[in-house]
Structure 1
Amino acid sequence: MAGNFRHLRIGVLAFQGDVREHIHVLEGLGAQVVKVRRPEELGTVDALVIPGGESSVMDKLVRMFGMQQPLRDAIAAGMPVFGTCAGLIMMSDNIVDAIAEQESLGGLHVDVRRNAFGTQIDSFEVQLDMPGVTKDPVPATFIRAPIVERVGEGVRVISALPDGRIVAVEQGNLLGISFHPEVNGDSRVHEYFLGRVAQYVTEKKASI
């Protein structure tokens, strides 16, 4: 399967968080990977991964380095973006419990709640059903994770916990999840995203 992704150039937003772990998974699947910190680097990639980390710190760094508007423009233009944990928060239209002056990039029509499961010591792992992504359950690691409290127009729920809390959504080329697939050696969610990116690249070339 990795050979199918060798033509893809995937950016990982590299200001803070699980950058190295995502790069390892993406390269393991055969993709070319670029650390993205500047607009010119963003302009060279087919898609972007926004890693887990601390969303408020990531937001400050994105603005400090002049990346907020380029990222918003890329999302609005249809670039495939995959956000995990803090990445989901960054992509959301609304953070219901944002700290003072915290902003998001927006584009994903959801409301999210930060740290919905408590502190670091409340981290946990479950087997999560993700129909449409993979037929077998995915080991999902939740670390100070957000949840999706509301989904808006065009958003499809692709996974929820047994109690109904939404932890994975998709909207067009945007994929946002609450957990960390990069930390437990299971690459199926990344593989699903790369499959979507490959389709996007093919359709983009066909339209030129």
Structure 2
Amino acid sequence: MVKLKARIGVVAYQGAVSEHLRALERAGAEALPVKWPRDLEGLQGVVIPGGESTVIGDAMQTWGLLDALREWVRDGGAVFGTCAGAILMATEIKNGKPDQPRLGIMPLTANRNGFGRQVDSFEADICVRGIEGSAFRAVFIRAPYFEVTDPEVEVLAAVDHKVVAARYGRHLATAFHPELTDDLRIHRLFIEMATGGQKNPG
């Protein structure tokens, strides 16, 4: 029997869309752009890329994807947000617009631009629970950090005591950009989570 590839979508309005599509394909998934609610059909996971969280959130609302994605999540879909995408997954956003559209599917607080502005962007080697091997070289660009108080949210990585990666059920959020590196371990982790084959970290 031929094993079918996982089908993972990437929200394709703005940000590092092509980089995520390439990384997912290299990690063994079938990667597809997502703009319309109908594009969610048959997907097991969806990536919301980095970029500008207000722009991506406004586009998702305008194109009808925000409500459709919430319903898709209720039906069991998995979401992976990087940087701006992770901000949109949070139930609370600090330093954002008061009426900023968001998915609100992870019970955490995202501190927008938590590490500073564009000039404060940096790279760091971090240990990420749930992936094997050496430290992950993480790229932070106008990155947020997360405040986690819900015990069901698992902290996967931190920098200077600030949470930069977290998991909640089948959802994954990173403050950094794994798609901008050649390291596919975090994309592979999400594919495992989206297909029900997630590993227990630790």
How far apart are the structure 1 equivalents of 2:23 and 2:145? 24
1:95-174 equivalence runs, <5 A: 95-161=93-159, 163-174=160-171
Three-state SS of the structure 2 residue aligned to 1:44 is: coil
Contact 2:13/2:56 (8 A) holds in 1 = yes
1:167-182 equivalence runs, <5 A: 167-182=164-179
Do structure 1's residue 7 and structure 2's residue 5 form an aligned pair? yes
Deviation at 1:160, TM superposition (A): 0.6
Please point out which of 57, 61, 64 is paired with 2:62: 64
TM-score by length of 2: 0.92
CA 1:53–1:154 in 2, change beyond 3 Å: closer, same or farther?
same
Deviation at 1:97, TM superposition (A): 1.9
Please point out which of 47, 50, 66 is paired with 2:48: 50
How far apart are the structure 1 equivalents of 2:53 and 2:44? 23
What percent of counterpart residues are identical? 38
Report the AA paired with residue 98 of structure 1: G
| Aligned twin of 1:188 | 185
Q: CA RMSD in A?
A: 1.7
How far apart are the structure 2 equivalents of 1:151 and 1:180? 24
99-108 or 116-125: bigger deviation: 99-108
How far apart are the structure 2 equivalents of 1:131 and 1:47? 20
Report the AA paired with residue 67 of structure 1: L
How far apart are the structure 2 equivalents of 1:15 and 1:129? 31
How far apart are the structure 1 equivalents of 2:149 and 2:49? 21
Deviation at 1:54, TM superposition (A): 0.3
How far apart are the structure 2 equivalents of 1:62 and 1:151? 28
Between the two proteins, the alignment pairs up a number of residues equal to 197
Deviation at 1:70, TM superposition (A): 0.6
Could you say which structure has the higher helix fraction? 1
Report Cα offsets for 1:133-163 as digits up to 9, x if no partner. Answer: 22320000000001002332410001111x2
Report the AA paired with residue 126 of structure 1: A
Q: Which runs of 5+ in 2 are unaligned?
A: none
TM-score by length of 1: 0.89
Three-state SS of the structure 1 residue aligned to 2:142 is: coil
Contact 1:52/1:85 (8 A) holds in 2 = yes
Report the AA paired with residue 168 of structure 2: Q
Report the AA paired with residue 158 of structure 1: L
Contact 2:130/2:189 (8 A) holds in 1 = no
Contact 1:117/1:144 (8 A) holds in 2 = yes
